[in-house]
Each structure stands twice: as structure tokens, then as C-alpha cells.
Structure 1
Amino acid sequence: MSVADNLQEVRCEIAEITQRFARPAESVRLLAVSKTKPVEDILAAYAAGQRLFGENYVQEAVDKHQQLSSYADIEWHFIGPIQSNKSRQIAETMAWVHTIDRDKIARRLSEQRPADMPPLNVLIQVNISDEASKSGISLDQLDDMVSLVMALPNLRLRGLMAIPAPQVSEAEQIQVYQPLKQAFQALQQQYPDVDTLSIGMSGDLAAAIASGSTMVRVGTAIFGARNYA
């Protein structure tokens, strides 16, 4: 199947899940995770109406941004870990960053955001399953991180992101998401710009959408298996 066909299948799946949980179909945005995929695949998705693309690796993200600079309506999201020495490249190219979990990185992104660009939309990454192998802050550190991001002039806090440990059942996955959902709703009550909960990938779309996700990150189901050098 083509990228366009795959994309349509994913959109249909999201529509079915939102209907199942009595949510408006437009309440969940689809982020196409294009890491390791060639520009031609991104253009195929673009031709099928996709505009949000997520990248995990800094140099690849910057290269694709440059190659597709004439496509001004592409919204680039960085969804991978950021090293201090790579923060400037992200600040100068991306529209969104999903992986804020350190004071130093947040400060650098704000300082390095070009003056002629709008504030960088950011999500704070929460490690809701307390996995040592994953990035993200704990929920009890959230208030401090929120205060820091809100004080930085060139960042705009839009919400939270998480990658939970997989669970055996949908019900168990929903249970894992509940504390994050509650934290997100509390943030929304405090800050009018907070509107994004980035949770849900191919394996847990239903649980994520049931838990209030407003953005799901899907790669393989759209583009096929990852390409590695």
C-alpha cells in the first residue's frame, strides 16, 4: 500500500476511536513520525493532506527542514532527546519541541530562538511509568518545570508529552494514563495556552484517545518499517 493509503487508514482508525469515546474527530491531531524516512515519503504524505511531521534526530530534522523549506505550511515537531550542543539547531528550525525535561535545555532553546520567529511551542515530557531507560520528569517535578518554562520569553508552553510502558490491556493502559490526564487538565485550568496532550502511538491509540490525547504520534503505520543505515 502507498503512503497515502496508509495515511487514510490511520485517519479512519482515529475517527473510529474518537467516535467510540464520544470525542469530536477534529479534537485529535495526527503527527506523522517521519524519522529515518526519505523526503519523498514526506512529500507523498504531504500530497495526501498531512502537514504535521515529527523527527527524532537533530541532524536529520534540520536537513529535512532545509530540503523542504519551500513548503511553508509544514509544521515540524522535534520529538527526540536534545543534547545541549544541538539545541541551537532545533531552536532555529522547529515549530514544536515535545521533549522538554531539563532546565538547561529549556533555557537554551529560549535564548537561541531567533528574534524573527514566533515563540517555540513546547511540551514537557513526563516519565509516567518511572522507567529508567526513558527521559522525562516525574509528575511531582512538574510544577517547577512549568514555572520555569512560563518564565522563558521565547517558549510557549502548550502541554505535556509521555511515552508510557506498554500494558497488557487497554483498560490497564488507560489506568496508567490517568495521573497524566489529571495533571494536563489542571494545567489547562491555570494556563489558557495549554491545549496539547501528546500521547498515543500505534500500539495504544485507543487508550490514549480515551485518556484525552489531542495529538497522536504515528510512524510505521504510515511510512512502513524504519530505515536504518
Structure 2
Amino acid sequence: MEFLGLKQRVAQVRGEIADAVARGGHGQAVRLIAVTKTHGPEAVLAAAAAGITDVGENKVQEALSKQEALTAAGTMPHGLTWHLIGHLQTNKVKALPSFGLFHAMDRAKLADEAAAMAAKRGITLDVLLQVNIVGEETKGGHALSEVPAEAERLHGMPSLRVRGVMTMAPFDAPEAVLRQVFRGAREARELLRAAGHDAHELSMGMSGDYLIAVEEGATMVRLGTVLFGARGG
């Protein structure tokens, strides 16, 4: 089977995360989000069977197609939370109610569109503010200096609940840069909290850097390759 041994890998990763929490000294609980992009619905079922209750997708349509397939087959795992972790075009905000948490609120216009959609439907969306600590041109997100003003602006959008911060570190960055990025995200979360938001989450860390992220206080890590192996597509 493609996902043979996943339970053992999950147990190993959870143990490594616990050790990283102890090293970091932040004492936080850490949610493991299984990123199933480019894998089929069977990856979601395998993750759930391995005790994972959170799955993440980068692309809206891929996520919705898996949700539809699992629902149609009557195999949608009970108690599963879906996370949308990738960049979202403003014309796709109508899909956000299909997710328990949206990680990539990376620009003011997207927040405006999401808030308007949610208000019109009479719902509240849980979101994370995406920050771009070192100013990578290839990634979206708010600069740390922009966070206080955006935090105040978001107070005028009661249909959005800002739960914390998400960031991505540069690929293959040295440890010093990784720690700079993750500490910056932690600072951004504190700015949100100082502005009155119920912001406790730090979504940071992927397969190549998640243990450093946990040492720096991550409450959510987004893991694909370390769980499922290298992907195609």
C-alpha cells in the first residue's frame, strides 16, 4: 500500500515535535496538519487512520474535489478539520466556508472580499494573517511593519476571526534565517494580540524546517513530504 507505515511515521514525528517543544521552552501544544496535495482522497483517509485530525490543501479545487469524493463515498472521516494553506484569488473567497481555517490571508483586498462574503452569508470565518518577514518577492504576506495597521483595520470586519499568524521561511535558508523568520512571526502574533485579537496560533514549519519552527513556538506545522514521501505533480 502507498501509505504503509504512516502510523509509525506519525508517531515518530510526534515524538520529535515533543522533543522540539521541550528544547524551545514555549510549552505549546502543536497540531500536525497533513498536507495531502497531489495525493488522492486515499491520503486523507490514511492520515485519519493514523490519528491525524487536520488536513491541509494548497489549492481550493483540489480540496473541494477530495471533499466531494469522500462525502459521496460516505467515507469522510468524522471530526476532520480542513485547512486551506495556499494563496487564494479574491474571486474564490466563496469557497472559504468549506474550510475550518484559512492560513493565507496575505493582503488587504483579500480580507475585504472574504469579510464581505462572510457577512453576506451571516457566518464568521477563522483566518490567519500571513506575514512575509524577510520580504521574499516570490511570497505574499504582510511585512512586520504593516501588521499593527492591518490588525486595527481587521477590527472593522467582525465576520473574520483572526486566530493568529502564518508564515513560510525561504527554501533551504540557513538556520539563522529560519529562526529570524519564525521569531518575526511570533512578534507579529503578539502585535495582533496587543490590538485585541484572539490570536494564539502560529502556523509555521514544513517538512524541511518544522523542528526549528516548533522550537520557536509553532502551534501548527504543515507536513506533506515527511509523512507521505515526495510528490508528483
TM over 0.5: yes
The one-letter amino acid of 1:187's match is L
SS at structure 2 position matched to 1:153: coil
Cα 1:103–1:21 change in 2 (3 A) is closer
Deviations 1:37-80 (A, max 9, x none): 11111101101211111100110011122233443511111011
Match runs of 1:144-183 below 5 Å: 144-166=149-171, 169-183=174-188
- The answer as to whether partners of 1:88 and 1:108 remain within 8 angstroms in 2 is no
Q: Which amino acid aligns with 1:188?
A: R
Question: What is the TM-score normalised by the length of structure 2?
Answer: 0.87
Q: What is the CA–CA distance in structure 1 between the aligned matches of 2:80 and 2:5, rounded to whole Å?
A: 20
Is 2:85 aligned against 1:79? yes
Say if 2:128 is the partner of 1:123: yes
Query: 2:210 matched to which residue of 1?
Result: 205
Runs of 4+ in 1 over 4 A off after TM superposition: 114-118, 166-169
Structure 2, unaligned runs of 5 or more = none
Question: Offset at 1:32?
Answer: 1.0
Partner of 1:2: 5
The one-letter code of the counterpart of 1:155 is: L
- The aligned length equals 226
CA distance 1:114–1:152, change in 2 (3 Å): closer
Indicate the residue corresponding to 1:55 in structure 2: 57
Contact 1:124 1:159 in 2 (8 A): yes
- TM-score with structure 1 setting the length: 0.88
Say if 1:43 and 1:117 are closer, same or farther in 2 by CA, change over 3 A. farther
**In structure 1, C-alpha distance between the alignment counterparts of 2:119 and 2:49, rounded to whole Å:** 30
Question: Aligned partners of 1:40, 1:204: CA distance in 2, in Å?
Answer: 26
- Give 1:168 deviation, angstroms: 5.4
Gaps of 5+ in 1: none
Q: Does 1:19 align with 2:22?
A: yes
Q: Residue type matched to 1:51 in 2?
A: T
Q: Distance between the aligned counterparts of 1:218 and 1:148, measured in 2?
A: 32
> 1:124-162: CA deviations, max 9, x gaps?
111112111111111111122222333212210001111
8 Å Cα contact 2:148-2:192 kept in structure 1: no
2:43 match: 41
Amino acid at match of 1:77: H
Residue 96 of structure 1 and its aligned partner are, at CA, apart by 0.8
Quick one: structure 1 residues 74 and 127, their matched pair in 2 at CA, closer, same or farther if it must change by over 3 Å? same
Contact 1:174–1:207 (CA under 8 A) maintained in structure 2 = yes
Q: Which stretch of the first structure deviates more once superposed, 211-220 or 137-146?
A: 137-146
Partner of 2:161, secondary structure, is strand
Aligned to 2:33: 31
CA RMSD of aligned residues (A): 2.2
Of 188-197 and 130-139, more deviation after overlay is shown by: 188-197
Counterpart residue identity of residue 222, structure 1: L
Q: Is the 8 A contact 1:77 1:96 kept in 2?
A: yes
Change (3 A) 1:226 1:184: same
The worse-fitting range, judged by mean Cα deviation, of 154-163 and 63-72 is 63-72
